[in-house]
Amino acid sequence: MKLQAFKTEPVFQLRPWGGRAMAQRLGKKLPDGPIGESWEISAHPNGVSRVSGGPLDGIPLDELVRRAGAELLGARVHKKYRGSFPLLVKLIDIHSLASVQVHPNDEQAQRLEGYPWGKTEAWYIIDRAPEARFFSGLIPEATPKGLRSALASGDALSQLISPEVKAGDCLLIPPGTVHAVGEGVFLLEIQQSSDITYRVYDWDRRDDKGNPRSLHLEKALQVIDFGARPKIYRAERRPDALCRILACDLFVIDEIRVSRGMELPGRPSCTTGTVIEGDLRLVSEGAFLDLHCGDSFVIPAQTAARVESLGPPAAAVLTEIV
Protein backbone atom coordinates (compact mmCIF):
# COMPACT_ATOMS: atom_id res chain seq x y z
CA MET A 1 0.00 0.00 0.00
CA LYS A 2 1.27 3.46 -0.89
CA LEU A 3 2.45 5.52 2.08
CA GLN A 4 -0.34 7.78 3.35
CA ALA A 5 -0.27 11.29 4.76
CA PHE A 6 0.11 11.20 8.54
CA LYS A 7 -0.17 13.41 11.60
CA THR A 8 2.77 13.85 14.00
CA GLU A 9 3.10 13.90 17.77
CA PRO A 10 5.35 16.78 18.89
CA VAL A 11 8.20 16.98 21.38
CA PHE A 12 8.01 19.90 23.84
CA GLN A 13 11.10 21.88 24.83
CA LEU A 14 11.56 23.95 27.99
CA ARG A 15 12.95 27.45 27.40
CA PRO A 16 13.45 30.25 29.98
CA TRP A 17 11.63 32.69 27.69
CA GLY A 18 8.71 30.29 26.99
CA GLY A 19 5.17 30.29 28.34
CA ARG A 20 1.91 28.30 28.26
CA ALA A 21 0.34 29.62 25.06
CA MET A 22 0.27 26.20 23.39
CA ALA A 23 -2.01 24.89 26.14
CA GLN A 24 -4.16 28.02 26.25
CA ARG A 25 -4.48 28.56 22.49
CA LEU A 26 -4.32 25.03 21.13
CA GLY A 27 -5.23 22.73 24.01
CA LYS A 28 -1.90 20.91 23.84
CA LYS A 29 -1.09 18.85 26.94
CA LEU A 30 2.14 20.42 28.11
CA PRO A 31 4.59 19.31 30.78
CA ASP A 32 5.20 21.69 33.66
CA GLY A 33 7.38 24.74 33.16
CA PRO A 34 7.89 27.41 30.51
CA ILE A 35 7.44 25.63 27.17
CA GLY A 36 9.08 27.65 24.43
CA GLU A 37 9.08 25.20 21.55
CA SER A 38 6.96 22.36 20.24
CA TRP A 39 9.03 20.36 17.76
CA GLU A 40 6.11 19.43 15.57
CA ILE A 41 7.92 17.58 12.79
CA SER A 42 11.43 16.52 13.71
CA ALA A 43 13.92 13.76 13.12
CA HIS A 44 16.64 15.64 14.99
CA PRO A 45 18.24 13.57 17.78
CA ASN A 46 17.47 16.29 20.35
CA GLY A 47 13.75 15.67 19.86
CA VAL A 48 12.27 13.11 17.45
CA SER A 49 8.53 13.39 16.73
CA ARG A 50 6.40 10.31 16.12
CA VAL A 51 3.58 9.35 13.81
CA SER A 52 0.22 9.94 15.51
CA GLY A 53 -2.60 7.58 14.52
CA GLY A 54 -3.11 5.31 11.54
CA PRO A 55 -1.23 2.14 10.63
CA LEU A 56 2.15 3.69 11.47
CA ASP A 57 1.13 5.05 14.88
CA GLY A 58 4.03 5.59 17.27
CA ILE A 59 6.87 5.13 14.78
CA PRO A 60 9.61 7.76 15.27
CA LEU A 61 10.06 9.96 12.22
CA ASP A 62 13.74 9.11 11.82
CA GLU A 63 12.89 5.40 11.76
CA LEU A 64 10.12 5.97 9.22
CA VAL A 65 12.56 7.84 6.99
CA ARG A 66 14.96 4.89 7.18
CA ARG A 67 12.16 2.48 6.30
CA ALA A 68 10.39 4.46 3.59
CA GLY A 69 13.34 6.40 2.14
CA ALA A 70 12.58 7.91 -1.26
CA GLU A 71 8.91 6.90 -1.05
CA LEU A 72 8.52 9.45 1.73
CA LEU A 73 11.11 12.07 0.82
CA GLY A 74 11.15 11.85 -2.97
CA ALA A 75 14.09 10.48 -4.95
CA ARG A 76 16.01 13.74 -5.37
CA VAL A 77 15.62 14.86 -1.75
CA HIS A 78 16.50 11.37 -0.49
CA LYS A 79 19.74 11.50 -2.48
CA LYS A 80 20.54 15.14 -1.64
CA TYR A 81 20.22 14.63 2.13
CA ARG A 82 21.66 11.10 2.20
CA GLY A 83 18.45 9.56 3.52
CA SER A 84 17.92 12.05 6.36
CA PHE A 85 14.87 14.22 7.06
CA PRO A 86 16.22 17.74 6.49
CA LEU A 87 13.52 19.95 8.04
CA LEU A 88 12.57 20.82 11.60
CA VAL A 89 9.13 22.43 12.02
CA LYS A 90 8.36 24.14 15.33
CA LEU A 91 5.60 26.08 17.03
CA ILE A 92 7.26 28.68 19.25
CA ASP A 93 5.82 30.64 22.18
CA ILE A 94 8.11 33.54 23.06
CA HIS A 95 6.65 34.97 26.26
CA SER A 96 9.68 37.11 27.17
CA LEU A 97 12.53 38.22 24.93
CA ALA A 98 14.52 35.31 23.53
CA SER A 99 18.28 35.70 23.40
CA VAL A 100 20.12 37.66 20.73
CA GLN A 101 21.58 34.87 18.62
CA VAL A 102 23.01 33.78 15.30
CA HIS A 103 23.30 30.47 13.42
CA PRO A 104 26.06 29.09 11.15
CA ASN A 105 25.74 28.03 7.54
CA ASP A 106 26.48 24.47 6.42
CA GLU A 107 30.22 25.00 5.93
CA GLN A 108 30.59 26.76 9.29
CA ALA A 109 28.56 24.08 11.11
CA GLN A 110 30.81 21.39 9.66
CA ARG A 111 33.97 23.29 10.56
CA LEU A 112 32.98 24.51 14.03
CA GLU A 113 30.71 21.72 15.26
CA GLY A 114 31.29 18.70 13.02
CA TYR A 115 27.56 18.76 12.11
CA PRO A 116 26.47 18.53 8.46
CA TRP A 117 23.94 21.38 8.39
CA GLY A 118 23.74 24.94 9.52
CA LYS A 119 20.48 26.72 10.17
CA THR A 120 18.46 28.70 7.70
CA GLU A 121 15.08 29.44 9.23
CA ALA A 122 11.81 31.17 8.41
CA TRP A 123 9.30 32.56 10.91
CA TYR A 124 5.60 32.66 10.03
CA ILE A 125 4.04 35.03 12.58
CA ILE A 126 0.76 33.53 13.78
CA ASP A 127 0.09 36.20 16.39
CA ARG A 128 1.88 39.02 18.17
CA ALA A 129 1.11 41.19 21.17
CA PRO A 130 1.13 44.98 20.69
CA GLU A 131 4.30 45.21 22.79
CA ALA A 132 6.14 42.47 20.87
CA ARG A 133 9.56 43.26 19.45
CA PHE A 134 11.40 41.86 16.44
CA PHE A 135 15.10 42.22 15.70
CA SER A 136 16.75 40.96 12.53
CA GLY A 137 20.13 42.14 11.28
CA LEU A 138 22.65 44.68 12.53
CA ILE A 139 22.74 48.43 11.87
CA PRO A 140 24.80 49.43 8.79
CA GLU A 141 27.60 50.91 10.88
CA ALA A 142 28.03 47.82 13.09
CA THR A 143 31.54 46.36 13.37
CA PRO A 144 32.97 43.47 15.40
CA LYS A 145 34.66 45.94 17.76
CA GLY A 146 31.53 48.07 18.13
CA LEU A 147 29.37 45.01 18.72
CA ARG A 148 31.73 43.73 21.43
CA SER A 149 31.66 47.11 23.14
CA ALA A 150 27.86 47.40 23.03
CA LEU A 151 27.40 43.88 24.41
CA ALA A 152 29.88 44.49 27.21
CA SER A 153 27.97 47.62 28.26
CA GLY A 154 24.57 45.92 28.03
CA ASP A 155 23.53 48.05 25.06
CA ALA A 156 22.72 45.32 22.53
CA LEU A 157 19.64 47.21 21.31
CA SER A 158 21.81 49.94 19.81
CA GLN A 159 23.23 47.42 17.32
CA LEU A 160 20.00 45.76 16.16
CA ILE A 161 17.58 46.53 13.33
CA SER A 162 13.93 46.35 14.38
CA PRO A 163 11.63 45.80 11.38
CA GLU A 164 7.86 46.30 11.42
CA VAL A 165 6.27 42.85 11.52
CA LYS A 166 2.56 41.95 11.42
CA ALA A 167 0.68 38.71 12.00
CA GLY A 168 0.71 36.80 8.71
CA ASP A 169 4.19 38.04 7.80
CA CYS A 170 7.00 35.55 7.20
CA LEU A 171 10.63 36.46 7.92
CA LEU A 172 13.45 34.61 6.23
CA ILE A 173 16.48 34.44 8.56
CA PRO A 174 19.56 33.23 6.64
CA PRO A 175 22.61 31.93 8.54
CA GLY A 176 24.74 34.78 9.85
CA THR A 177 21.75 37.04 10.62
CA VAL A 178 21.79 38.27 14.21
CA HIS A 179 18.22 38.12 15.52
CA ALA A 180 15.92 38.14 18.55
CA VAL A 181 12.18 38.26 19.16
CA GLY A 182 9.76 38.19 22.02
CA GLU A 183 7.39 39.56 24.61
CA GLY A 184 4.26 37.99 23.25
CA VAL A 185 4.99 36.31 19.91
CA PHE A 186 3.50 33.04 18.68
CA LEU A 187 5.05 31.74 15.50
CA LEU A 188 5.65 28.77 13.25
CA GLU A 189 9.31 28.18 12.44
CA ILE A 190 10.51 26.17 9.46
CA GLN A 191 14.24 25.48 9.55
CA GLN A 192 17.01 23.12 8.62
CA SER A 193 17.30 20.14 10.95
CA SER A 194 19.97 21.75 13.12
CA ASP A 195 20.07 22.81 16.76
CA ILE A 196 23.20 24.98 16.61
CA THR A 197 22.66 28.38 18.21
CA TYR A 198 25.31 30.89 19.20
CA ARG A 199 23.96 33.21 21.90
CA VAL A 200 25.37 36.71 21.68
CA TYR A 201 23.38 38.36 24.48
CA ASP A 202 20.67 37.10 26.87
CA TRP A 203 19.30 40.32 28.39
CA ASP A 204 21.16 39.59 31.67
CA ARG A 205 18.73 36.74 32.35
CA ARG A 206 19.51 34.42 35.30
CA ASP A 207 18.33 30.90 36.06
CA ASP A 208 16.67 29.86 39.34
CA LYS A 209 20.15 29.46 40.87
CA GLY A 210 21.22 32.94 39.85
CA ASN A 211 23.50 31.78 37.05
CA PRO A 212 23.53 33.35 33.58
CA ARG A 213 23.19 31.15 30.50
CA SER A 214 26.40 30.64 28.60
CA LEU A 215 27.20 32.90 25.65
CA HIS A 216 29.11 32.00 22.49
CA LEU A 217 30.47 35.34 21.29
CA GLU A 218 33.72 34.08 19.82
CA LYS A 219 32.02 31.50 17.63
CA ALA A 220 29.26 33.98 16.82
CA LEU A 221 31.79 36.49 15.49
CA GLN A 222 33.08 33.80 13.13
CA VAL A 223 29.65 33.38 11.53
CA ILE A 224 27.94 36.80 11.74
CA ASP A 225 27.16 38.41 8.40
CA PHE A 226 27.30 42.12 9.23
CA GLY A 227 25.52 42.92 5.97
CA ALA A 228 22.53 40.63 6.50
CA ARG A 229 19.22 42.50 6.41
CA PRO A 230 15.68 41.35 7.25
CA LYS A 231 13.50 40.02 4.42
CA ILE A 232 9.76 39.91 5.04
CA TYR A 233 7.30 38.01 2.84
CA ARG A 234 3.53 37.73 2.82
CA ALA A 235 1.20 35.55 0.77
CA GLU A 236 -1.48 37.00 -1.46
CA ARG A 237 -4.43 35.51 0.39
CA ARG A 238 -6.94 33.87 -1.95
CA PRO A 239 -9.51 31.35 -0.74
CA ASP A 240 -9.10 27.71 -1.75
CA ALA A 241 -5.78 28.32 -3.47
CA LEU A 242 -2.13 27.49 -2.89
CA CYS A 243 -0.58 30.92 -2.21
CA ARG A 244 3.20 31.26 -2.32
CA ILE A 245 4.92 32.91 0.63
CA LEU A 246 8.57 32.36 -0.24
CA ALA A 247 10.98 30.01 -1.96
CA CYS A 248 14.67 29.43 -1.23
CA ASP A 249 17.15 26.69 -2.08
CA LEU A 250 16.04 24.58 0.92
CA PHE A 251 12.26 24.84 1.05
CA VAL A 252 9.17 26.39 -0.51
CA ILE A 253 6.51 27.78 1.86
CA ASP A 254 2.86 28.25 0.88
CA GLU A 255 -0.27 29.29 2.72
CA ILE A 256 -3.74 27.87 2.14
CA ARG A 257 -7.04 29.35 3.33
CA VAL A 258 -9.73 26.75 2.91
CA SER A 259 -13.37 27.73 2.59
CA ARG A 260 -15.14 25.22 0.31
CA GLY A 261 -12.22 22.84 -0.26
CA MET A 262 -9.27 22.45 -2.60
CA GLU A 263 -6.98 19.95 -4.27
CA LEU A 264 -3.29 19.64 -3.44
CA PRO A 265 -1.44 18.05 -6.37
CA GLY A 266 1.28 15.53 -5.65
CA ARG A 267 4.73 17.11 -5.43
CA PRO A 268 8.10 15.57 -6.33
CA SER A 269 9.22 15.75 -2.70
CA CYS A 270 7.77 15.54 0.80
CA THR A 271 5.51 18.33 2.11
CA THR A 272 4.97 19.27 5.75
CA GLY A 273 1.99 21.23 7.06
CA THR A 274 0.70 22.89 10.22
CA VAL A 275 -2.85 24.11 10.78
CA ILE A 276 -2.76 27.71 12.02
CA GLU A 277 -6.48 28.49 12.05
CA GLY A 278 -9.64 26.40 12.29
CA ASP A 279 -10.03 22.68 11.60
CA LEU A 280 -9.30 20.76 8.40
CA ARG A 281 -9.86 17.35 6.87
CA LEU A 282 -7.08 16.05 4.61
CA VAL A 283 -8.02 13.16 2.31
CA SER A 284 -5.35 11.14 0.48
CA GLU A 285 -4.89 7.57 -0.73
CA GLY A 286 -8.38 6.59 0.38
CA ALA A 287 -7.86 7.70 3.99
CA PHE A 288 -8.47 10.94 5.85
CA LEU A 289 -6.96 12.95 8.68
CA ASP A 290 -9.01 15.31 10.82
CA LEU A 291 -6.68 18.11 11.83
CA HIS A 292 -7.29 20.76 14.47
CA CYS A 293 -5.60 24.11 14.94
CA GLY A 294 -2.00 23.44 16.00
CA ASP A 295 -1.83 19.95 14.45
CA SER A 296 1.01 19.15 12.05
CA PHE A 297 1.19 16.58 9.28
CA VAL A 298 3.36 15.15 6.52
CA ILE A 299 2.35 14.42 2.93
CA PRO A 300 4.71 11.94 1.23
CA ALA A 301 6.26 12.70 -2.16
CA GLN A 302 4.00 12.24 -5.21
CA THR A 303 0.89 12.07 -2.99
CA ALA A 304 -2.12 14.13 -4.04
CA ALA A 305 -4.65 15.23 -1.42
CA ARG A 306 -7.86 17.10 -0.95
CA VAL A 307 -8.28 19.59 1.89
CA GLU A 308 -11.68 20.56 3.30
CA SER A 309 -12.69 22.85 6.13
CA LEU A 310 -14.52 21.19 9.02
CA GLY A 311 -16.34 24.41 9.97
CA PRO A 312 -15.54 28.07 9.43
CA PRO A 313 -12.70 28.84 6.98
CA ALA A 314 -9.41 27.32 8.10
CA ALA A 315 -5.75 27.94 7.24
CA ALA A 316 -2.49 26.01 7.13
CA VAL A 317 1.12 26.63 6.20
CA LEU A 318 2.69 24.05 3.88
CA THR A 319 6.40 23.52 3.24
CA GLU A 320 7.85 21.50 0.40
CA ILE A 321 11.39 20.23 0.89
CA VAL A 322 13.72 21.27 -1.94
Respond yes or no: is residue 238 known to be catalytic: no
Give the closest residue to 8 by CA, choosing from 75, 88, 119, 76.
88
DSSP state of 31: P
Which amino acid type is present at position 22? Answer: M
DSSP string, 272-288: EEEEEES-EEEEETTEE
Q: What b/e sequence results for 7-16 when a residue is b if at least 16 CB atoms lie within 10 Å of its CB, and e otherwise?
A: bbbbbbbebb
Give CA–CA dist 142/321, Å, rounded: 34
The residue from 133, 199, 257, 267 that is catalytic is 199
Q: Is 91 left (phi over 0), alpha (psi -120 to 50) or beta?
A: beta
Give CA–CA dist 158/199, Å, rounded: 17
Give CA–CA dist 179/186, Å, rounded: 16
Give CA–CA dist 62/123, Å, rounded: 24
DSSP string, 188-236: EEEEES----EEEE-TT-B-TTSPBPP--HHHHHHH--TT---EEE---
Collapsing DSSP states into helix, strand and coil, what is residue 27? coil
Total Cβ atoms within 10 A of residue 211? 8
What are the beta bridge partners of residue 135? 180
Active site positions, annotated: 199
